[in-house]
Amino acid sequence: MRRRQKNWLTVQRAAAIMDTTSAEVCPELSVGRLSGSKWKQPGRPGKAQWLVDPKSVTKEQRRATKRVTQIARRRKRRAARR
């Protein structure tokens, strides 16, 4: 993660934007669909938190809408064949 960029999102915020839960966002980080990095604030106790690149969130939203429209088109074609 570059230090210059300050607009990275927490997992919770990315989940809110994607209309999912943070538990569903974490596997997407580990698979590589979302890009992010773990970051620990210096001088603060506790665990590090994942920060997600907002560009990867928009790309994943596009992929998800594309998947939904493809499924809808397939269903429509199958219904037309019957």
What percent of the chain clears pLDDT 70, i.e. is strictly above it?
Answer: 93
Whether this prediction's pTM lies above 0.75 is answered by: no
Q: Hey, what are 64's tokens?
A: 């998800």
Among all chains, which residue has been given the structure tokens 């992010």?
Answer: 36
DSSP structural state of residue 78? H
Predicted pLDDT of residue 70: 92
- Domain extents in the chain: 9-81
